[in-house]
Chains A and B, each alone.
Chain A
């Protein structure tokens, strides 16, 4: 999913680091009239159609309105999915190929003019079949077909058929998608697909009513009609989006409760105060697109935003040496929330490139590998970490912690200048000098943004490489032209991030599968028959120690081949005000706005006590 786009976003966000994925929520003071009291920040949203959306900000908005069969448990760690529109987790046949879901009765779509007499109808199994077919329909240009590609029986035939000029026939049968009755959905697979349950929690499996798609046509991206806790009130592109609690839940008597089970730490953090209460808590949410981090920061300090990231430039004023908040922020009840993320940042080498990629001549190929390894060895994580205010985790391989399969021992190509120089000699570039030109070897790296953070971090990298005698030339692109270069395989090196789609290392290993090469997510165009074979093996394996062993083997081969320089895994740090309750960071925070609560009493109190003494930019009085 968030292949390119969220990867992009993470890179663009740079200092923001997708903290909690912008899941600040907002509400309305009772009796405060229609005046919007809370604002919150979001990145630009491109559309509200679950089939076409691909970036984090859109997914978050979509997940307030639409729902799927399954969702992530809010408090359970490690992450776990639980039924949402399904009555229970599915019955899975013994061979792991047939999933049978019972769908909850009494779930209704929001009222909308697309339905006869404007009343939202009941959700049926056929809606899921229709929604999954929409993902496979070429005409929808969905970013999510990879999730079902070659997985569901007959879905590829549907995909092929939709390429014709005729309007796609949605009545065409897909063998693997069957509604046994209105409340029973059966999904049949070509091979076992242990990640299917995670996929079904993503927006590519959210239930979309056919009436709405046909009624609105092209305009459907602006008119979401779902079953979720919120309805869209207004969406002004690149400016503002507003949601309101859907009255349909109360009308139809739908019961959704706040989780009652949590760890003692959760209880101590006040996360279980609302246990067993009806969701959602917030009546109205307004989010503004604020791209300037300084503006967002000042709005947070003045209480206009419930939560905020901490930008790189604010960091050392706001956070003390031992990672605590400075006093005046702490005094005001602002909490610092930190959590590791499942995001990975890397510099990729293009396998098509004659210097850093694969070479037909086996000797040259080996030398190119040494060069990549040398570049890995010359990357000084500690410096990058210092530059980023010590907010990064080192990353030793393709799989981030704490996923099963992440490398236990440090990478053999971690920072080591001596080793880097040695490897350079073996690669045929002693002291970095290219024997052909007699000058230092020059490598170029493509970036997807030109902001000052990106630029400074690249100047830092260039300095790391000049230490071993290599010149790194950065080329800054706009995001679309960056993607274009990726897809045309024109980059020699590039920096990207990857945001996990589900908590399974398979999601990261697919980035090295040769059939996923550009324009797929394998932007390095990495090709290794051994990795391909192992990947094909694990993609159908259930979670067992054997699978973890294969993950580890794959990671080791990839580290040795070094198609990437593994940069870091960021920690997310966010600040929130005391009145924003039930706030837990989650790597897949889609649809979790319904658990959050805005405590208006606390908030009013806060404004009364602090309205007169404003904080300056450093968060001090």
Chain B
């Protein structure tokens, strides 16, 4: 079992390496990840030292300055460096992407496994549950959850996105588990008298883990996009430089030719979403056993 799984991954990596575009996207993802880590370090450093970070300091005399050597991406309406805020935006985007995944993926995986493995009443109930969730308009549902969270801000974003985006994964996992349930290695495990939990999570789960990886890389950019929309609408991040907030404040001056804040934030968002999506697609191709050459 172990050697088989390793060869799957080794195989996948070999195929991925051949895909130039995927490697470029992987590079971009690594770059953004480093930026996010750097942003987090800056943020933590200021928090521990209990000082206000420089990307929050205003200077009205330097407001709306075009990109120059001192401010590579110009300054915003309160004279703050756009680039520094953009990097903090990467940090927030990553936090949202990762934390919402940590909420949504376990829900999707566990419910999917239970439904697929046990079938019957359990399956009926879980199918009913995710059908109900899926039938509610996504963004409205997220907004509603974010509004109910007492302390608005990031927590609302995490819960809103995390609690609503597990349905797709749950469906996929359920299907996969149903397929695997009939396979001989599961039959063998059953014949050995192993418990259901052990079979589900020790035997079947590793065999469907590629589904989870692909789902993660595809839902990550979707979560970031949703966070930007929520912050743009004023119910997302508060008091920190999220991309949504930056786009919202930049839009009023765009027609006056103050293009830099909007442009750079949009480019960053575009690249992040694109890189994750292309990488996700490439991963899916690489991990799909049916495409074995």
In the complex, the answer to whether B60 meets A386 with C-beta atoms within 8 Å is yes
In the complex, the answer to whether A439 meets B58 with C-beta atoms within 8 Å is no
For the complex, is B291 an interface residue (Cβ under 8 Å from A)?
no
In the complex, the answer to whether B234 meets A463 with C-beta atoms within 8 Å is no
Contact with A along B238-272 (1 / 0, CB 8 A): 11000001001100110110000000000000000
For the complex, is A313 an interface residue (Cβ under 8 Å from B)?
yes
| Residue in B50, B235, B245 whose CB lies within 8 Å of A439 | B50
In the complex, the answer to whether A459 meets B248 with C-beta atoms within 8 Å is no
For the complex, is A460 an interface residue (Cβ under 8 Å from B)?
yes
In the complex, the answer to whether B256 meets A317 with C-beta atoms within 8 Å is yes
In the complex, the answer to whether A456 meets B249 with C-beta atoms within 8 Å is yes
In the complex, the answer to whether A473 meets B239 with C-beta atoms within 8 Å is yes
In the complex, the answer to whether B256 meets A452 with C-beta atoms within 8 Å is no
For the complex, is A178 an interface residue (Cβ under 8 Å from B)?
no
- Please measure, in the bound complex, the distance between the C-alpha atom of A476 and the C-alpha atom of B153, giving whole angstroms: 9
Which residues of A sit under 8 angstroms from B234, Cβ to Cβ?
A: 450-451, 455, 476
For the complex, is B77 an interface residue (Cβ under 8 Å from A)?
yes
Which residues of A sit under 8 angstroms from B58, Cβ to Cβ?
A: 383, 459-460, 463
In the complex, the answer to whether A450 meets B235 with C-beta atoms within 8 Å is yes
A-B contact count (CB 8 A): 63
* Nearest-CB residue, chain A, relative to B232: A452
How many whole Å from A290's CB to the nearest CB in chain B? 16
In the complex, the answer to whether A313 meets B256 with C-beta atoms within 8 Å is yes
How many whole Å from B153's CB to the nearest CB in chain A? 8
- Please measure, in the bound complex, the distance between the C-alpha atom of A313 and the C-alpha atom of B251, giving whole angstroms: 10
For the complex, is A548 an interface residue (Cβ under 8 Å from B)?
no
For the complex, is B136 an interface residue (Cβ under 8 Å from A)?
no
Q: Give the most central of A439, A452, A475, A616: most B CB within 10 Å.
A: A452
Which residues of B sit under 8 angstroms from A478, Cβ to Cβ?
A: 147
Contact with B along A136-147 (1 / 0, CB 8 A): 000000000000
For the complex, is A466 an interface residue (Cβ under 8 Å from B)?
yes
In the complex, the answer to whether B248 meets A452 with C-beta atoms within 8 Å is yes
A455-B245, A455-B249 as given contacts; A462 in contact with B78, CB under 8 Å: no
How many whole Å from B238's CB to the nearest CB in chain A? 6
Which residues of A sit under 8 angstroms from B255, Cβ to Cβ?
A: 616-618
Which residues of A sit under 8 angstroms from B238, Cβ to Cβ?
A: 450, 474-476
For the complex, is B44 an interface residue (Cβ under 8 Å from A)?
no
Which residues of A sit under 8 angstroms from B57, Cβ to Cβ?
A: 463, 466
In the complex, the answer to whether A462 meets B249 with C-beta atoms within 8 Å is no
Which residues of A sit under 8 angstroms from B252, Cβ to Cβ?
A: 294, 311-313, 452
Interface residues of B in 117-152 (CB under 8 A from A): 147, 151-152
In the complex, the answer to whether A462 meets B60 with C-beta atoms within 8 Å is no
* Nearest-CB residue, chain A, relative to B249: A452
Interface residues of A in 185-231 (CB under 8 A from B): none
Which residues of B sit under 8 angstroms from A383, Cβ to Cβ?
A: 58, 60
In the complex, the answer to whether A313 meets B235 with C-beta atoms within 8 Å is no
How many whole Å from A342's CB to the nearest CB in chain B? 27
| Residue in B151, B152, B239 whose CB lies within 8 Å of A462 | B239
In the complex, the answer to whether A456 meets B77 with C-beta atoms within 8 Å is yes
Interface residues of B in 2-59 (CB under 8 A from A): 50, 52, 56-58
| Residue in A317, A456, A475, A618 whose CB lies within 8 Å of B78 | A456
Which residues of A sit under 8 angstroms from B253, Cβ to Cβ?
A: 313
In the complex, the answer to whether A471 meets B245 with C-beta atoms within 8 Å is no
* Nearest-CB residue, chain B, relative to A437: B50
* Nearest-CB residue, chain A, relative to B238: A476
* Nearest-CB residue, chain B, relative to A312: B252
In the complex, the answer to whether A440 meets B152 with C-beta atoms within 8 Å is no
How many whole Å from A390's CB to the nearest CB in chain B? 11
In the complex, the answer to whether A476 meets B56 with C-beta atoms within 8 Å is no
Which residues of B sit under 8 angstroms from A475, Cβ to Cβ?
A: 151-152, 238
In the complex, the answer to whether A466 meets B52 with C-beta atoms within 8 Å is yes
Contact with B along A293-333 (1 / 0, CB 8 A): 01000000000000000011100010000000000000000
* Nearest-CB residue, chain A, relative to B234: A450
Interface size class of A (residues with CB under 8 A): 20 to 34
Which residues of B sit under 8 angstroms from A450, Cβ to Cβ?
A: 234-235, 238
For the complex, is A387 an interface residue (Cβ under 8 Å from B)?
yes
- Please measure, in the bound complex, the distance between the C-alpha atom of A450 and the C-alpha atom of B50, giving whole angstroms: 26
Which residues of B sit under 8 angstroms from A616, Cβ to Cβ?
A: 255
- Please measure, in the bound complex, the distance between the C-alpha atom of A558 and the C-alpha atom of B248, giving whole angstroms: 38
- Please measure, in the bound complex, the distance between the C-alpha atom of A312 and the C-alpha atom of B249, giving whole angstroms: 12
- Please measure, in the bound complex, the distance between the C-alpha atom of A459 and the C-alpha atom of B252, giving whole angstroms: 17
- Please measure, in the bound complex, the distance between the C-alpha atom of A88 and the C-alpha atom of B248, giving whole angstroms: 54
Contact with A along B207-247 (1 / 0, CB 8 A): 00000000000000000000000000011001100000100
How many whole Å from A253's CB to the nearest CB in chain B? 52
- Please measure, in the bound complex, the distance between the C-alpha atom of A391 and the C-alpha atom of B255, giving whole angstroms: 22
Interface residues of A in 573-621 (CB under 8 A from B): 616-618
- Please measure, in the bound complex, the distance between the C-alpha atom of A460 and the C-alpha atom of B234, giving whole angstroms: 18
Which residues of B sit under 8 angstroms from A311, Cβ to Cβ?
A: 252
- Please measure, in the bound complex, the distance between the C-alpha atom of A472 and the C-alpha atom of B203, giving whole angstroms: 52
How many whole Å from A30's CB to the nearest CB in chain B? 37
* Nearest-CB residue, chain B, relative to A447: B238
How many whole Å from A407's CB to the nearest CB in chain B? 27
Q: Give the most central of B56, B58, B249: most A CB within 10 Å.
A: B58
- Please measure, in the bound complex, the distance between the C-alpha atom of A286 and the C-alpha atom of B151, giving whole angstroms: 41
| Residue in B50, B56, B248, B249 whose CB lies within 8 Å of A440 | B50
- Please measure, in the bound complex, the distance between the C-alpha atom of A383 and the C-alpha atom of B59, giving whole angstroms: 9
Contact with B along A462-491 (1 / 0, CB 8 A): 110010000101111110000000000000
Interface residues of A in 264-300 (CB under 8 A from B): 294
- Please measure, in the bound complex, the distance between the C-alpha atom of A474 and the C-alpha atom of B238, giving whole angstroms: 8
A386-B60, A387-B60 as given contacts; A474 in contact with B235, CB under 8 Å: no
In the complex, the answer to whether A476 meets B152 with C-beta atoms within 8 Å is yes
Contact with B along A532-552 (1 / 0, CB 8 A): 000000000000000000000
- Please measure, in the bound complex, the distance between the C-alpha atom of A466 and the C-alpha atom of B52, giving whole angstroms: 7
Which residues of B sit under 8 angstroms from A456, Cβ to Cβ?
A: 77-78, 249
How many whole Å from A70's CB to the nearest CB in chain B? 42
How many whole Å from A33's CB to the nearest CB in chain B? 35
A313-B253, A476-B238 as given contacts; A459 in contact with B50, CB under 8 Å: no
How many whole Å from A419's CB to the nearest CB in chain B? 21
How many whole Å from B235's CB to the nearest CB in chain A? 7
How many whole Å from A297's CB to the nearest CB in chain B? 10
Which residues of B sit under 8 angstroms from A313, Cβ to Cβ?
A: 252-253, 256
Interface residues of A in 93-142 (CB under 8 A from B): none
Which residues of B sit under 8 angstroms from A462, Cβ to Cβ?
A: 52, 56, 239
- Please measure, in the bound complex, the distance between the C-alpha atom of A475 and the C-alpha atom of B57, giving whole angstroms: 19
How many whole Å from B233's CB to the nearest CB in chain A? 8
- Please measure, in the bound complex, the distance between the C-alpha atom of A617 and the C-alpha atom of B256, giving whole angstroms: 8
Contact with A along B145-170 (1 / 0, CB 8 A): 00100011000000000000000000
- Please measure, in the bound complex, the distance between the C-alpha atom of A313 and the C-alpha atom of B248, giving whole angstroms: 13
How many whole Å from B79's CB to the nearest CB in chain A? 10
Can you list 7 A-B pairs, Cβ within 8 angstroms, ordered by A?
A: A313-B253, A383-B60, A451-B234, A459-B58, A463-B52, A466-B57, A471-B52
Q: Give me the interface of B with A, judged by CB distance under 8 Å.
A: 50, 52, 56-58, 60, 77-78, 147, 151-152, 234-235, 238-239, 245, 248-249, 252-253, 255-256
Instruction: Report, nearest first, the 8 A-B pairs whose CB atoms are least far apart.
Output: A450-B234, A313-B252, A466-B52, A463-B58, A452-B249, A617-B255, A386-B60, A452-B248
Given pairs A463-B78, A476-B152, 7 additional interface contacts (CB within 8 A): A459-B78, A462-B56, A463-B56, A463-B58, A466-B56, A471-B52, A477-B152
